[in-house]
Each structure stands twice: as structure tokens, then as C-alpha cells.
Amino acid sequence: MSNKLKFSRRKILVGSAAAGGGFALGFFVPGIDPLSAQDNGGAEVGAWVFIKPDDQVVIRIARSEMGQGTLTGLAQFVAEELECDWSKVTTEYPTPGQNLARNRVWRDFFTAGSQGIRNSQEFVRKGGAAARMMLLEAAAKEWGVPVAELTVDKGVITHAKSNRSVTYGKIATAASKLEVPKDADITLKDPKTWKIAGKSLNRLDTPDKLTGKQIYSIDVTLPGMLNATIMDAPVFGAKLKSYDGAKAKAMPGVKGIYPVGETAIAVVADTFWQAKKALDALNPQWEQGLNDQVSSDTIAAFLKEGLETKEGVHVGNKVGDPAQAIAGAAKKLEAVFYSPYQHQATMEPMNATAKAFFPASRIPLQDSIISRSWSPSV
């Protein structure tokens, strides 16, 4: 991407967790920070929902979208319980720093496999349902009628007896001032009545990815930022034996060369390309280990041996006698399917942007600098 975000020191939020000695760093990114929605007016109705005067609904997503549709799926859960107009839904990400500052209101920022949906769908749905309850209560108070007499459909609250209606956008500010319902008081919808959740809808993240609007950590540029590249051992268990640092240290922009644990080496430089070229020049050597001879063929042989062994096999569940049935079959059909060992690679280089504090003896710069960790394939 050619567009680089510029940040001032005032817009970097750094929070330290007293419990457990944790550390969280959140960046203010226009269009991503949940508080940015307030710039255009509107109100937060519970932590998961922000509603603008024009009835646009911004749903907070505290999980990573890694290609499986997690972002859209979680937004569908919130929108379903909220009873809003799906065509007016957008999303944004809270930051870890904001989560920490608000007593972890968005829970753990953890995404792996199918857990983005499976482990968070209940409390995300409750976030949408709580917001709906607050909006209905605000309308009931304004009209002086029981909440039970109100209905809502696609973000429009209606009181049939008095022929009155109001949109979410117009009642959101009043709703934001109410107390958020406790979990025990929230009743979720029966999945049989779902109109949005569980349905095949266009993904919300696709347009931004196609147009280049989506900001990734690899796109972020910060004042005084350095870049680091790291090379790990090519096989598990191998250790770094030696490297040629003289040539790399003399190359333009290089600030330092640092072993990382026993298995990796990293270069810090002014730019990524300078760090990458210096890393290439290190010519690291690795100690030989048990996994040096591992290949797709050896893995296949290991698995085949495990399938054929008769001793020490634990059987968790058995119905009938397949071996006896096959042996007594009049006609047998056998097929073997094989796939080589596959590498689950990321679509972009694994990277992170962080504020780092280096002792002056290691990097002769200010002790408050910005560094990017970049992991090339080896």
C-alpha cells in the first residue's frame, strides 16, 4: 500500500496491567478505534453497539478476521438480537488498550480456528440483546407506556396502541444513559426465529480488502520507527550455532544484530529492506538435530506404521468388528489416499508493531522508539 498512517505521540495509548504484570498497547487508527464513531455523533448503547443519528449501527468486533468469516458472523449475532436493519450495519475493532481501560468489557482478544464464533457467540448475542432492551426501555419511558406494549423491527420501535414509532438513531442517546441489563435478566431469541444470524449474507470485510481500505499492521508507519527482521531455525529443535555479523553490521541503516533465544537471529535497521538484506548476509549456521531428516515421506511412513500396529493401541470406541467383516467380504475394494505434509502459511509476513524499550548499551538511540518485528520465511 502507498497510503501510510501518520501518528502523533499523543494518539498512542499505552496501558499497563497491574494484575499479572501484563502490558497492552493500543493505537488510535481512524475508522478502527471504537471511540472514533463519536466524531460523527451518536451514542454507545452497551459496549458492543454504537448507533448514529442516521440509524447506522456500528458493531464492535473483538476477534480477528482470518478468512473464515468471523467478523461477519459475530456482527450477525449482535444484529439479530438487536433487531436492527442489517443493511445499515458496519463494524469496528476495539483495541487491547481500550479493553484494558474498560475492565476487559470485550473479554479476551483471542482468535484461533473456529473459536471466534464458538467461544464468544453467547456473550456477543447478549450484547446485542442488552442494547435492544435499553432502546425499548428508553422509548417506553419517553412515551410513558409499558415496555411490553412495544415492538421493534429493523431498528424501528413501534407502539401500536398510540400509533407512534421512533428509530434507533433518534432514541439511542436516551438509551445510552440507562443501566446495562445484567446477564441474568437477558433472554436470547430462539434460533428458530432468526432472520439474520445463521443466514448466508455478503461478507462485511470484503469491500475494504478489495479496495485497499483495510489497514493491516504491516501498513502502519510511526515516528522514529525501526524495522526488525528475524530468522528462526529451519527445523524444530535446531539451535543457532554461528553467524557472520561483521558484514551485516557494516551495511547501511543497521542498528544491531541480536540472537533471539537459542534458535533465532534478528537484525534491527532503519527500514525493512535494510534489515532484510543484512539478515541475508548473516549466513547463519544451525546445529544438526533429530528433525533434520524429517520429510513428507518419513511422516507418511510414521503414520502408516501407527495405522498397522497391533500393540499398545488404545481403542476409545468400537462398534462391530470391521477387520472380521472385511476379511469375510465376498468382494473387496481398496483405495489409499495420500497428501504430503502441508505448510499453513500466512497471506502476509507475520508482523507486529510495538513500542520497544531498549537499554542504551544495546541500541544507541533514545530509549523510547518504535520497532516492527518482521518474520520472513526461511
pTM of the model: 0.68
Of the candidates 150, 187, 188, the residue with the CA atom closest to the CA atom of residue 171: 150
Contact status, residue 348 vs residue 219, Cβ threshold 8 Å = no
- Ordered by where they begin, the domains of the chain are 9-189 (3.30.365.10), 221-289+346-375 (3.90.1170.50)
Match 475493532 to its residue by C-alpha cell.
93
Q: pLDDT per position in the chain (378 positions), as tens?
A: 333 334 333 333 333 222 222 222 333 333 334 444 445 689 999 999 999 999 999 999 999 888 889 999 999 999 999 999 999 999 999 988 899 999 999 998 888 877 889 889 999 999 999 999 999 999 999 999 999 999 999 999 999 999 999 999 999 999 999 999 999 999 999 999 999 999 999 999 999 999 998 887 778 888 888 999 999 998 888 999 999 999 999 999 999 999 999 999 999 999 999 999 999 999 999 998 788 888 888 888 998 898 888 888 888 888 898 889 999 999 999 898 887 777 777 766 778 887 765 554 444 443 333 444 444 433
